[in-house]
Amino acid sequence: MAQSGFHGLIGLGLAKSGHWKMHRSDTESRQSFAFGFVVGNVIPDADLLPLAITYLFDPALAMRMHRTATHSLVVIGLFTLISLALARTRRARYLFLGSALGAVCHSLVDIAVWFSGVDLLWPLSHFGIPSEINLWKGITVPRLVGNLLGAADFLAFGLFSLYLFNLSKTFETDTDFLPRLRIFTAFHFITFSIYLVLAFILSKTLFEMAQYALFVLVSFPITVYAIFRSRKTIQHLVT
């Protein structure tokens, strides 16, 4: 239940409505911050890519490893400090700051939803310091509910592509990418329909294997690609 598309929608919505604390005339910095914020809201789920192989052999272990390093405030903070130290331009600094804030937003949303914990202070847990926040401990999610939430992954991806498509048309930015966004949107809506049926048929294990395979191999890479390809559209949110 990664719901990266949902995180992307949150990123776009907050980027559009946010009043960034910087000089209004500094358009380039605000644009870099907004773009970084959207990227930061999505990219923490990239940890599922290296965990895909682990999932084939030990699904429980793979899911325990998910929402650790890339969702940790410790890791996010260290990455941000190093990035700011290496940044050579004001735009780069605001890009990293936006990404950091987006990643923090991602982790906080994960704490509140998806019925699982977040190792918010990883790797302190390895030193005996409690680091996981789990509001859902002791709650067992019924098979069907978990499967339906997994199917909703693809609905969220479709809505995210559709939102980018509509923004691009409205702003008349990245118009050459509109045909692909239309294809991505249709693909994910069709995929959602298929997985919605499978949610009622397959066991939890089989459904998750089918879901995460498509997530890792297709949907997540497509969404990251769409974000970077729609950079001008996302930046236009704060102009």
The upper half-sphere exposure of residue 35, i.e. CA atoms within 13 Å in the direction of its Cβ, equals 24
CB of 45 closer than 8 Å to CB of 107 = no
Residue 111, number of CB atoms within 10 A of its CB: 18
| Mean pLDDT (the chain, rounded) | 91
Q: How far apart are the first and last CA of the chain?
A: 34
Q: Where are the alpha helices (DSSP H) in the chain?
A: 4-17, 27-42, 48-57, 59-65, 73-86, 90-112, 143-171, 178-201, 204-214, 220-229, 231-235
The pLDDT-based confidence of 64 (bands split at 50, 70, 90) is: confident
- Res 2 pLDDT > 80: no
Span 172-198, pLDDT tens digits: 999 999 999 999 999 999 999 999 999
The pLDDT-based confidence of 218 (bands split at 50, 70, 90) is: very high
The pLDDT-based confidence of 24 (bands split at 50, 70, 90) is: low
The upper half-sphere exposure of residue 118, i.e. CA atoms within 13 Å in the direction of its Cβ, equals 24
- Res 23 pLDDT > 80: no
Mean pLDDT of 103-128: 91
- Res 202 pLDDT > 90: yes
Span 74-111, pLDDT tens digits: 999 999 999 999 999 999 999 999 999 999 999 999 99
- pTM score: 0.93
- Nearest C-alpha neighbor of 37 from the set 235, 189, 239: 235
**Residues with Cβ < 8 Å from 167, sequence gap 6 or more?**
12, 173, 230, 233, 234, 236, 237
Span 40-61, pLDDT tens digits: 999 999 988 887 777 767 767 7
Q: How far apart are CA 234 and CA 34, in angstroms?
A: 7
